[in-house]
């Protein structure tokens, strides 16, 4: 059954984005009641503890959001992520422990653009008592992609374009400076240092992906999480499923991509760490039936990062892994261990 899912208000400004009927389940009565029962009392005044040296409790939804927030917040906050390695944010449903983290937070950051659709009600309720920010809130709509099959919603996978995710990190710095004005310069300085690292990552991605022979710049993946990467770095992206992993790939979708693989002589397709690989395996079988052999070029990080504590468990490591694996599998020139020699050997 279809439900109308309303987009969250971006912090203090009204949501100007459009609505769309989509196949999403809205968090139920139990979650709403749990939040309502625990949010009693007055909320903490914004930034009132900043001078006392207490580390703020900062809660984030996805790993990609949590990583940029950690770089900006630094030692001023304890940053906790809700969704772990291999978790699909499109399908994620809040647990009681998650609700407890949100309720105890001083400030909350989420990705936005309906990525965390099933957490919408929880974020709205928590936002009535404490600051809740979408890191994508300040991105000019002209820079957002709105694929035809997702009409009415923007593609939420902005982190695949490093230059756009850098803007999201800047949004975090502004939000933290507003929240804790005493330490505003500290947050802005942290952002500036991190921005230089993101600039280096962006340049690396551009260089290694452009080394792929032009005819071979076809990126076939499990779902449409890589369109911003395609636009930024000149790749023809073909996702088997739609923007959300709740969508299902039809026979016509698979046949169309198999046709493209054969015509373009694509040598490799890619699985994703947070999405089932069954559709990719169907593509391989379909191409083989047409006399065309393709291989799995590697496993890409799409909606979740690598293991905590690993290089791939950071945003920079995640993108370094993706562009290095893609370039090497499609005939480009990229060092085996990536931009800084930190990638694991496992692909």
DSSP for residue 252:
H
- Please report, for the chain, the start and end positions of each structural domain, with discontinuous segments joined by +: 3-204, 207-329
Asked if 125 contacts 97 with a C-beta cutoff of 8 angstroms, the reply is no
DSSP for residue 21:
E
Cα gap 340→325, rounded to integer Å? 14
List C-alpha distances in Å: 20 to 2, 9, 23, 219: 10, 15, 10, 28
What are the residues whose beta carbons fall under 8 Å from the beta carbon of 266, sequence distance 6 or more?
Answer: 216, 218, 220, 260, 294
111 by Cβ neighbours in 10 Å (0-12 / 13-18 / 19+) ranks as buried
Asked if 204 contacts 317 with a C-beta cutoff of 8 angstroms, the reply is no
Question: Could you tell me the fold of the domain covering 207-329?
Answer: Rossmann fold (3.40.50)
Burial letters 281-314, b for 16+ CB under 10 A, else e: ebbbebbeeeebebebbbbbbbbbbbeeebbbbb
Can you identify the CATH homologous superfamily of domain 3-204?
Nitrogenase molybdenum iron protein domain (3.40.50.1980)
CA dihedral 307, 338, 273, 330 (to 10 degrees): -170
Predicted confidence at residue 31, as pLDDT, reads 41
Identify the CA nearest to 232 among candidates 211, 205, 269: 205
Record the tokens describing residue 78, joined without a space: 């304890």
Predicted confidence at residue 4, as pLDDT, reads 27
H or E, element range at 109: strand 107-110
CATH topology of 3-204 equal to that of 207-329? yes
Asked if 158 contacts 164 with a C-beta cutoff of 8 angstroms, the reply is yes
Q: What are phi and psi of 211, to 5 degrees?
A: -80, -10
The distance in angstroms from the start CA to the end CA of the chain is 39
Q: What is the mean pLDDT of each run of 10 residues along the chain (347 residues)?
A: 32 32 35 44 43 82 97 97 85 88 96 89 90 96 87 89 98 98 98 98 98 94 88 92 50 82 90 77 87 92 92 97 97 96 82
Looking up tokens 């944010």 gives 89
């Amino acid at each position: 059954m279809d439900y109308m899912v309303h987009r969250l208000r971006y912090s203090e400004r009204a949501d100007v984005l459009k609505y769309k009927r989509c196949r999403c389940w809205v968090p139920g009565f139990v979650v709403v009641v749990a939040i309502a029962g625990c949010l009693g009392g007055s909320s903490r005044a914004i930034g009132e503890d900043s001078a006392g040296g207490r580390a703020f409790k900062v809660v984030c939804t996805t790993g990609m959001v949590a990583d940029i927030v950690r770089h900006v917040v630094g030692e001023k906050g304890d940053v906790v992520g809700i969704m772990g390695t291999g978790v699909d944010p499109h399908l994620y449903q809040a647990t009681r422990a998650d609700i407890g983290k949100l309720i105890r937070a001083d400030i909350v950051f989420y990705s936005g653009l309906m990525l965390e659709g099933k957490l919408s009600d929880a974020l709205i309720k928590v936002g009535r008592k404490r600051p809740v920010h979408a890191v994508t809130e300040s991105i000019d709509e002209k820079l957002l992609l709105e694929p035809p099959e997702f009409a009415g919603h923007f593609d939420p996978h902005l982190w695949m374009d490093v230059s756009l995710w850098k803007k999201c990190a800047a949004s975090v710095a502004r939000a933290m400076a507003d929240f804790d004005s005493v330490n505003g310069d500290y947050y802005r300085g942290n952002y500036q240092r991190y921005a230089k690292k993101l600039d280096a990552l962006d340049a690396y991605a551009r260089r290694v992906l452009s080394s792929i022979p032009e005819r071979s710049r076809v990126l076939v993946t499990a779902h449409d999480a890589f369109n911003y990467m395609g636009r930024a770095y000149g790749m023809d992206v073909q996702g088997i499923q739609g923007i959300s992993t709740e969508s299902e790939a039809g026979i016509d979708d698979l046949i169309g991509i198999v046709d493209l693989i054969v015509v373009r002589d694509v040598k490799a397709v890619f699985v994703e760490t947070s999405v089932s690989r069954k559709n990719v395996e169907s593509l391989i079988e379909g191409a083989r039936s047409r006399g065309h052999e393709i291989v799995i070029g590697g496993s890409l990080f799409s909606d979740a990062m690598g293991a905590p504590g690993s290089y791939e468990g950071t945003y920079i490591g995640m993108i370094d892994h993706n562009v290095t694996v893609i370039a090497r599998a499609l005939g480009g020139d990229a060092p085996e261990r990536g931009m800084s020699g930190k990638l694991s050997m496992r692909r």
